[in-house]
Chains A and B, each alone.
Chain A
Amino acid sequence: MNFNAGDTAWILVASALVLLMTPGLAFFYGGMVRGKNVLGMLAQNYVTMGVVSVLWILGVYSLAFSGTGKYIGNFHQFGLNHIWQQATGFETLTIPPLVFCAFQLMFAIITPALITGGTADRLKFGAWTLFCGLWLVIVYAPVAHWVFSPSGWLSKLGAEDFAGGTVVHANAGAAALAVILVIGKRRGWPKERMRPHNVPFVLLGAGLLWFGWFGFNAGSALAANTLSAYAFVNTNTATGAALLGWMIVERLRDGHATTLGAASGAVAGLVAITPACGFVSPMGSVAIGFAAGIICALAVGLKHVFKFDDALDVVGVHLVGGVLGALLIGLFGTKMVNGANGAFYKGGWTLMGHQAIAVVAVVAYSFIVTYILAQILDKTIGLRVSVEQEVAGLDLSQHAETAYETASYSDGNRFSSSLNN
């Protein structure tokens, strides 16, 4: 096999960038929860890094990428046996198979981690740990195979997903909705106010996500070339446009553009451009990003209409944004960059049809299987903490720790430091 040092070096770095997204996500979410639950949120994200890192090597990589099955891989590369062989359909890659495996691992880590935002403040730590491992095997592995593996049925159909708009975002968003419906609302929602306890954390986390996302999207070219450059520029452009779109909605609707809105808009743009970044032009990415910022800013209100407690808006941002991005490829896809032409480039509606099938298949499978899995776990080991534990907070009840020594009864408002004089 002919490996290219430049490609290999880039994908190794990109893998590390994608890994950093999960701690970034942990802070993005952690800042939005109440101060008594921030460690619970960080712990759920970090333990996912542990669980998935091990399971991926043991067998899940093989299930997702080995073999020629239409719906699921096989155990050919169980325990990374035969890892000197490229994954099926990736024979022309110029990076070692082990690098591809590591890069894909990082996607498998952040996908279940995304769910924790919807279920924030009420999952038992042990139940989450078990759930994320099972979900990885029965939901993530098949869906990744359908879309990412060239032998998967959606990939064969012609559905396009450059970096995981369906596999990662729509998948995690649909799963979050399913778990939310099983475990129910946080105690006191929506009457009791549950303000973000640390908005600077949210912005810090969003910045880490934006940075790491260059690895996620531009790395998905699996080489250091013009296509990865398109993905890089499209990612940044769409993110900027979405940030502006979200803040404009807030300014017009609420009177103030907020910092939380800037972070949320950026993430919405990152989500929506993920499937499209290697198929659209930079001008297309402006349209996709701007649309994502506006639509996701409005979509986060859905939970108040339909009364489901999507605590940190995983449905409004990741499900809606992922679906939106996947569908907009059907309009903005262009051969000049990569892939097939969409409706706006005289490609007709064929591509849009493929995108719609992929979206429906992934969302339906993820929602249904996750719902059944969550019901079984809830009826057996129980997914949700007790009322006492929820009131005390996850930090204390699940981990016997507190995040802040100076935890205050009054939402952390401290007066001037002049008292120390």
Chain B
Amino acid sequence: MKLITAIIKPFKLDDVKAALQAFGITGMTVSEASGFGRQRGHTEVYRGAEYTVDLVPKVRLEVLVDSGEAEKVIDVIVKAASTGSIGDGKVWSTPIDNVVRVRTGERGPDAI
């Protein structure tokens, strides 16, 4: 099993969600995040004083998948989240030892 984590532009969330649902993903977790990558932050000016705002608002999207599906899911996310411009985000996968569905107690791939 793998955990796919994607950091994407907030306005791309709807596209990515729709693409994952079309692919057949049954669940995801979305949270508000902020950070920076190679694009760095931006500059704001208040009464002549410049402020560097490092942290740009992003959305973090997490999906648990079977190991065999991981590459395909990553492709779906990357395709849907891409605008081609700087700051589009990153996607990565992490191996997962175990998953338990709280309601039924199912374990492993059955719980996904």
Q: How far is the CA of A418 from the CA of B30 in the complex (A)?
A: 11
Residues of B within 8 A of A390 (CB): none
Contact B47 A416 (CB under 8 A): no
Contact with A along B46-61 (1 / 0, CB 8 A): 1111111101010100
Instruction: Report if A248 contacts B (CB, 8 A).
Output: no
Min C-beta distance of B73 to chain A, whole Å = 20
A window 284-343: CB within 8 A of B: 297, 300-301, 304, 313
* 10 residue pairs, one from A and one from B, having the closest CB atoms: A415-B10, A413-B57, A410-B34, A193-B51, A254-B45, A418-B14, A300-B47, A415-B59, A416-B10, A260-B46
Q: How far is the CA of A261 from the CA of B48 in the complex (A)?
A: 9
Contact A297 B48 (CB under 8 A): yes
Min C-beta distance of A266 to chain B, whole Å = 14
Q: How far is the CA of A196 from the CA of B30 in the complex (A)?
A: 28
Contact B32 A418 (CB under 8 A): no
Contact B13 A414 (CB under 8 A): no
Residues of B within 8 A of A400 (CB): none
Residues of B within 8 A of A260 (CB): 46-47
Q: Per a CB cutoff under 8 Å, which of B11, B17, B32, B51 touches A195? A: B51
| Count of chain A residues with a beta carbon within 8 Å of a chain B beta carbon | 26
Q: How far is the CA of A264 from the CA of B47 in the complex (A)?
A: 8
Chain A interface mostly: loop
Instruction: Report if B44 contacts A (CB, 8 A).
Output: yes
Contact with B along A380-421 (1 / 0, CB 8 A): 000000000000000000000000000010110111101100
A window 213-261: CB within 8 A of B: 250, 253-256, 258, 260-261
Q: How far is the CA of A418 from the CA of B32 in the complex (A)?
A: 12
What are 27 sample pairs from A and B whose C-beta atoms fall under 8 A apart?
Answer: A193-B53, A195-B51, A195-B53, A196-B46, A250-B45, A254-B45, A256-B45, A260-B46, A260-B47, A264-B47, A304-B49, A313-B47, A408-B32, A410-B32, A410-B57, A411-B53, A411-B55, A413-B34, A414-B32, A414-B57, A415-B10, A415-B59, A416-B10, A416-B11, A418-B13, A419-B13, A419-B30
